[in-house]
Amino acid sequence: MWYTFSLVESQEKFSSWQVYPSARVSTIGSEVLNSMKKPFTQRFGDFIEGKGFYIVLLLCVAAIGLSGWYLFSSFSPDQEEAAVGGQAQITVTPTPKVTAPAVTAEHVVPTAKPTAKPKATATPAPAATPTPAATPAAAPTTYLWPVRGDILTAYSVDALAYDPTMADWRAHTGVDIAANAGTEVRAAAAGTVASVTSDVMMGTTVVLDHGGGMTTTYANLASVPTVEAGDTVSSGDILGSVGNTAIAESALPDHLHFSMDKDGAPVDPLSYLTK
């Protein structure tokens, strides 16, 4: 940089020196002033493009060198490794032995276990001896007249007979034997009283079972007979008395309605009654 020095003469003496820049100096100054007017970013960019690039490169090389020296010095074999946390001391405390107290044997009285009671053995019941089936009794061969009297209405199943009470013609499965009211009625043969009923049409009725499929029926009896169902009677026993309870035969004089059945079918009583 070049400067021009001029000596200025005052009125009395030389008072000072004044320095005037040369034309080159003025040009550089104007360039500096112009560069200051630029933005910071542009000025930084111009600096990097110029001498600043070499300065930054020098700083980077210096930083790399310092880092390498520090790293190399940290792995030096002459440097002793510092103990971390000091020396560790381990104290082993022995486990105390536990001495079990001596057990004194005591006299133990054994407890008697309850003796199981023997189970009762069930005695098998004796097998029931089957009772042989009773042989059905044979039907009687002879039958007595339950009452003595005339036949008012005969047995008729094949031909219709006129019924004066009902005023029509119908079958008659028994015989009507004339007898005064209150006359004793007797069993025609031995047997069992099968039933005692009060029939709506035939009044008080007693039925005897003689076995062998033979039954006898006594109807139009007085209200209260002398036997009950289940009674056993012999031939000639009194069953009741003649009455007037049969509405279906009320038009007839006092009488006993007597009928017989063989295996459930009606039969003619006159064929079985003794003469």
- Give pLDDT tens digits for 237-253: 999 999 999 999 999 99
Nearest-angstrom CA–CA distance, 275 and 257: 18
Residue 78 lies in a domain: no
**CA gap 250, 257 in Å, rounded:** 11
Q: Which of 87-101, 153-167, 181-195, 206-220 has the lowest mean pLDDT?
A: 87-101
Euclidean distance between CA atoms 185 and 158, whole angstroms = 28
- The answer to whether residue 124 scores a pLDDT higher than 80 is no
Higher pLDDT residue, 146 or 275? 146
Report pLDDT for 16: 46
Q: What percent of the chain has pLDDT over 90?
A: 43
Query: Stretch 63-92: mean pLDDT, rounded?
Result: 63
Six token digits for residue 5: 């020095």
Q: Is the pTM of this model over 0.85?
A: no
Average of per-residue pLDDT values in the chain: 77
94 lies in some domain = no
Q: Are residues 28 and 49 in the same domain?
A: no
Question: What's the distance, Cα to Cα, between the start and end of the chain in Å?
Answer: 196
Q: Which residue has the higher pLDDT, 45 or 100?
A: 45
pLDDT of residue 252: 94
Regarding whether 243 and 201 lie in a shared domain, the answer is yes
Residue 248 resides in a domain: yes
- Is 131 part of any domain? no
Q: How many CB atoms lie within 10 A of CB 211?
A: 15
Number of compact structural domains in the chain: 3
pLDDT of residue 204: 97
Q: Are residues 63 and 6 in the same domain?
A: no
Examine the domain organization and report whether 59 and 158 are in the same domain: no
Q: SS3 of 189, please?
A: coil
104 domain residue, yes or no: no
- Whether 196 and 223 map to the same domain: the answer is yes
| CB neighbour list of residue 136: distance below 8 Å, 6 or more residues apart | 211, 212
Confirm whether 123 is domain-assigned. no
pLDDT at 176 over 80: yes
∠86-87-93 over CA atoms, to 5°?
135
What distance in Å separates the CA atoms of residue 171 and residue 156, rounded to the nearest whole number?
6
Residues 155 and 53 in one domain: no
For residues 160 and 207, state if they share a domain: yes
Whether residue 159 sits in one domain with residue 66: no
Is 158 found in the same domain as 67?
no
CATH code: domain of residue 194:
2.70.70.10
Q: How many CB atoms lie within 10 A of CB 240?
A: 21
Tell me what pLDDT residue 19 has. 46
158 and 266 both lie in a single domain: yes
Give the number of other Cβ atoms within 10 Å of residue 185's Cβ. Answer: 24
My answer on whether 176 and 67 are in the same domain is no
Average pLDDT over residues 66-81: 67
Whether residue 189 is contained in a domain is answered as yes
Instruction: Answer whether residue 200 is part of any domain.
Output: yes
- For residue 32, give its domain range: 1-37
Nearest to 185 by CA among 237, 223, 263: 237
pLDDT at residue 232 tops 50: yes
- Check whether 53 has a pLDDT greater than 90: no
Residue 222: pLDDT over 70: yes
Asked whether 260 and 272 are in contact (CB, 8 A), the reply is yes
Q: Are residues 60 and 5 in the same domain?
A: no
What pLDDT does residue 219 have? 97
231 has pLDDT over 70: yes
Confidence band of 35 (pLDDT split at 50, 70, 90): low
